[in-house]
């Protein structure tokens, strides 16, 4: 590998924060290290939502969708989580991509706190909150994948 080539992550992922009004979308760099918000899709119809996400998937050569699942604080799956799963399964089928879920409890709260720290009004930047939440979801997934691959590598070396 030359010094100019970037190592390709094992899987190119797209992080999604699914809401009833908007979908926050995040992607990762080619190394699979850093997640960043890409855009916010304003929900209109399922077909239109799919088409907007499909464009991003094709442009970024996405291989998996990482979806934030809003567990209840007690760890159970409530009404909202089931709605997210229902939409995510339809989306994955339409895009012919696998999905993985990430516990997204408090990601929107964290995203709001980040805006407040930047002296920005959360009520005026709903789309930005959704993008930041999507990047937190994807970053959590990337970090977990990296930690698991390190453990696998360490176990292989010990063997």
65-84 pLDDT, tens digit per residue, is 999 998 888 888 889 899 99
Dihedral, 68, 33, 49, 79 alpha carbons, nearest 10: 0
Band (94; pLDDT cuts 50, 70, 90): very high
- Residues 100-115, mean pLDDT to the nearest whole number: 80
Q: What is the CA radius of gyration of the chain?
A: 16
Query: What pLDDT does residue 25 have?
Result: 97
Tokens of 93: 């089928």
**Distance between CA atoms of residues 66 and 104, nearest Å:** 11
Domain boundaries, the chain: 13-158
pTM of the model: 0.81
120-157 pLDDT, tens digit per residue, is 776 777 778 889 899 999 999 999 888 877 666 556 56
**Distance between CA atoms of residues 31 and 79, nearest Å:** 36
Asked if 129 contacts 9 with a C-beta cutoff of 8 angstroms, the reply is no
Strand 64-69, strand 13-18: pairing? parallel
Architecture field, domain 13-158: 2-Layer Sandwich (3.30)
């Amino acid at each position: 590998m030359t010094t100019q080539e970037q190592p390709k992550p094992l899987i190119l992922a797209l992080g999604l924060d699914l809401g009833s009004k908007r979908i926050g979308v995040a992607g990762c760099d080619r190394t699979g290290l850093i997640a960043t918000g890409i855009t916010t899709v304003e929900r209109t119809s399922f077909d239109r939502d799919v088409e907007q996400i499909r464009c991003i998937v094709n442009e970024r050569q996405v291989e998996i969708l990482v979806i934030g699942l809003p567990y209840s604080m007690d760890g159970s799956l409530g009404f909202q989580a089931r709605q997210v799963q229902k939409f995510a399964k339809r989306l994955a089928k339409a895009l012919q991509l696998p999905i993985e879920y990430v516990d997204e409890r408090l990601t929107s709260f964290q995203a709001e706190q980040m805006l407040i720290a930047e002296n920005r009004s959360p009520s005026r930047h709903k789309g930005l909150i959704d993008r930041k939440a999507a990047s937190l979801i994807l970053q959590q997934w990337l970090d977990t994948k990296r930690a698991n691959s390190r453990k696998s590598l360490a176990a292989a070396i010990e063997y």
